[in-house]
């Protein structure tokens, strides 16, 4: 992702990923025995666009959703909300959004929806992208809502495509946590961005690099740029200690490198399939040990104390198709 967008993007993702939090209300009783959560489904996503969003943007969004879902599985239910730059059009889209929320979850007060912290008017003025996870104890409907906008990044910029893939990998991550309890979900997903965002960024950039027309060396170029964040680590600081906020860029960048390191030490299958398949039953640490053979603390220590101290050349050598004997050096 272009670094000029990073701060706003980090802050927005922190806000939107936590948007499933709702004002305290009476908890509902659910029968989840026929719930499709966590299962690959046939149901297609719903696409909603503001009046000033072009058909080309809608088509591009559908194209990259298809790439993501065909590669990682189709999870849902899903909605895509595409916002342009017109505040008037965004306000109309907000009204449509809140009417749909009321239809799908009648218990949600309409005023709560209309007055939510990050509405489409704000998206129209600030841009960016985000995932809104709707799975809690207060709403009848569970699902995923991805918002894409017309700036930061624009659909005409290359960043739009890996950003959309990034958001969909969050869908993949969250689909493998079934609970409606937000505190339990946070424990299994990790509160700070290193794991969730690092994984989404690594997998999105890797998948995008494989698409037709993407320049040779793209993935190495992007990952090399992320290494610049090493200089912004504080002394004795680990990436898992960095919260969302002004310094989140470091956790995003080096979190993606932690995933690269983890996959190199084990396999992409162990990370993308094994870890997430065991996550709901084993919990974060249980699934980590089961699939990677060591604790997350031990792996983080090895990442900081061994891997980050290697030369740039040796770091880049662990990336796919660039293997040159890193394991032997360790």
Lowest mean pLDDT among 102-116, 119-133, 216-230, 260-274: 102-116
The pLDDT assigned to 138 comes to 87
Is residue 124's pLDDT more than 80? yes
**pLDDT at position 31, please?**
65
Range of 5-14, 183-192, 261-270 with top mean pLDDT: 261-270
pLDDT per residue as tens digits for the range 143-178: 999 999 999 999 999 999 999 999 999 999 999 999
Question: What DSSP designation does 18 have?
Answer: T
Q: What is the mean pLDDT of residues 296-309?
A: 98
Does residue 96 have a pLDDT over 50? yes
Q: How confident is the model over 82-95, as pLDDT tens digits?
A: 999 999 999 999 99
Residues 178 and 125 in one domain: yes
Pair (183, 197) in one structural domain: no
Count of all residues that appear for the chain in the document: 330
Measured distance CA(319)–CA(259) in Å, rounded: 11
Single residue among 189, 204, 238 that ends a domain in this structure? 189
Q: Quick check: 129 and 164 in contact, CB under 8 A?
A: yes
Say whether both 169 and 242 belong to one domain. Answer: no
My answer on whether 146 and 250 are in the same domain is: no
Given a cut of 70, whether residue 25 has pLDDT beyond it is: no
Query: Is the same domain home to 208 and 157?
Result: no
Residues 212 and 137 placed together within one structural domain of the fold:
no
Q: Which residue has the higher pLDDT, 114 or 214?
A: 214
For residues 260 and 168, state if they share a domain: no
Query: Looking at the predicted structure, is the pLDDT value of residue 11 above 80?
Result: no
> In total, how many domains does the chain have?
2
pLDDT at 6: 47
Q: Average the pLDDT over 250-262 and give the result.
A: 98
Structural domain containing residue 265: 193-329
Please provide the average confidence, as pLDDT, over all residues in the chain: 89
pLDDT band at 307 (very low <50, low <70, confident <90, very high): very high
Q: Check whether residue 15 and residue 154 sit in a common domain.
A: yes
Q: Do 184 and 220 have their domain in common?
A: no
Residue 261 has pLDDT above 60, yes or no: yes
Domain end position, chosen among 133, 166, 189: 189
CA distance 16 to 168: 14
Q: What percent of the chain has pLDDT over 90?
A: 80
Q: What is the pLDDT of residues 58-71, one digit of tens each?
A: 999 999 999 999 99
Secondary structure element (H or E) that encloses residue 112, with its range? helix 110-114
- Kindly indicate the confidence band of residue 35, based on its pLDDT and cuts at 50, 70 and 90: confident
CB 268 within 8 A of CB 206: no
Retrieve residue 152's tokens: 């930061």
28 and 162 share a domain?
Answer: yes
182 shares its domain with 262 = no
182 and 215 share one domain:
no
Sheet with 46-49, side-by-side order of all strands? 46-49, 78-82, 143-148, 130-134
Q: In the predicted model, what is the mean pLDDT of residues 196-220?
A: 97
């Amino acid at each position: 992702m272009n670094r000029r967008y990073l701060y706003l993007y980090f802050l927005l993702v922190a806000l939107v990923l936590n948007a499933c939090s709702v004002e305290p209300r009476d908890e509902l009783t659910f029968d989840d025995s026929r719930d499709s959560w966590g299962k690959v489904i046939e149901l297609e996503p719903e696409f909603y666009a503001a009046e000033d969003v072009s058909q080309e943007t809608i088509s591009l969004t559908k194209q990259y959703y298809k790439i993501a879902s065909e590669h990682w599985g189709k999870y849902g239910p899903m909605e895509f909300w595409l916002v342009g730059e017109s505040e008037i059009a965004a306000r109309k889209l907000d009204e449509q959004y809140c009417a749909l929320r009321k239809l799908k979850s009648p218990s949600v007060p309409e005023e709560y929806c209309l007055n939510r912290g990050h509405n489409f008017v704000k998206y129209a003025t600030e841009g960016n992208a985000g995932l809104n996870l709707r799975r809690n104890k207060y709403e009848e409907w569970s699902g995923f809502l991805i918002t894409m906008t017309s700036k930061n990044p624009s659909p005409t910029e290359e960043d739009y495509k890996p950003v959309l893939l990034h958001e969909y990998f969050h869908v993949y991550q969250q689909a493998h946590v079934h609970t409606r309890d937000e505190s339990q979900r946070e424990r299994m997903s990790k509160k700070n961005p290193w794991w969730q965002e690092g994984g989404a960024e690594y997998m999105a950039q890797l998948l995008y690099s494989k698409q037709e027309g993407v320049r040779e060396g793209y993935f190495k170029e992007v990952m090399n740029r992320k290494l610049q964040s090493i200089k912004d680590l504080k002394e004795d600081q680990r990436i898992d200690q960095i919260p969302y906020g002004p310094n989140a860029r470091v956790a995003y960048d080096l979190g993606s490198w932690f995933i690269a390191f983890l996959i190199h030490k084990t396999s992409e299958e162990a990370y993308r399939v094994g870890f997430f398949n065991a996550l709901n039953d084993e919990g974060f640490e249980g699934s980590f040990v089961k699939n990677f053979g060591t604790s997350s603390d031990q792996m983080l220590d090895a990442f900081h104390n061994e891997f980050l101290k290697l030369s740039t050349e040796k770091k880049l050598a662990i990336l796919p198709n660039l293997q040159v004997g890193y394991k032997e050096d360790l």
